[in-house]
Structure 1
Amino acid sequence: MSKPAYFPDDGLGLNDFLRAGTLDVPEPDWIHVRTPLSKIEYPLDVEATRSAVLDNLTLVFDPELPVNIVELGLIYRVEVSPEGKVEIDMTLTAPNCPVAGSMPAIVERGAAVVPGVTEAKVNLTWSPAWSIERASEDARLALGM
C-alpha cells in the first residue's frame, strides 16, 4: 500500500515546522550563582537580592537584538520576598516572538541561581504591550533609534 501524496517523503512532520520558527536563547554564565558553600541567612536583604537578579538578567539577550532584556524594558517587575521567593513579570517584543518558548525559562533560571533564592516564577504578560519607549536611552542608541 502506497502513502497518500500529502505525506512528505522526506520525513518532516508538523513538529519540524513548528520548531523551525523558534529560536533558543543561549544560557549565559551567570554573575551571581549559588554554590554548595553559600551560607544564606534569612530574612534576605531584599534589595540586594533584587539587584543580583537584575544583574543576572542583564546577561540575557533577545537573539535578534544586540541589547539585553533589562535595557530593552522587557522586565516589568521583580519582586523578592524575605524568604527568597522571586516573582518576575516580563513581556516580549511581540506576541509571536520566536523566543517565546525559551526566554521565560532562561529568565527563571537566571533568578533561581542567585544565592538565597528559594523559588523563582516568571509571568509572561502582554499588558502593557512593549514599545521602544520602554527601552533605556542606551538601548535605543544601540538599536539606532
Structure 2
Amino acid sequence: MELPVAMNGSALEVFHRTPGCITVAVSAWPPLVDVRPVPFTGSHVSIFRLVMERLKWCYYLLPTPDQQWGDKLNGTWTGMVGMLDRKEADLALGPLGVTLLRTEVVDYAAAYMNSDNNFLYKAITKIQPDMFIFTKPFIDQVFDNILI
C-alpha cells in the first residue's frame, strides 16, 4: 500500500484518520509535545515532522483521550501504550520511559534524547568535623515531631 503524499511530493500531515496514513498517539508534555493549539508543537513533534518529511509519509497525530503514557491497570493498558496495544495507533510520540512491563506489548526505537534528574545542593567550600552532620538536612520541626 502506498502512503498518500502532498502535491509537492513531501510528507503529508492530515487532521483526521485517513486510510493509508499512519496514526501516531501523542500525549501532552510541553515543551516536548504540546497538543494545544492545533497543529501540535514541541521539540519531539518537530523532530518527528522532519523524519516524516524525509520518508515522505502521511501521518495523523492523535492525542490520547486520557492524556497518559501507559500503565497496566486491571489487565488493561491505558494511554499511548494502550492505543498501540489495541491497534488504535501505529506509533507513539513523546517522552516514554522504557519499562520491562511495557515491553510485553510495545517495542522501543533507539533513544534520541536522554534526561537525567538530579538534586542540586550548595557547593561545600570547607568541610568541618561535625558529629551531628546527619541532622543538617532536617528542620527543627522534624525533631519536634519525633520527640512528641
> TM-score, normalized by length of structure 1?
0.27
Q: Which protein shows a greater Rg?
A: 2
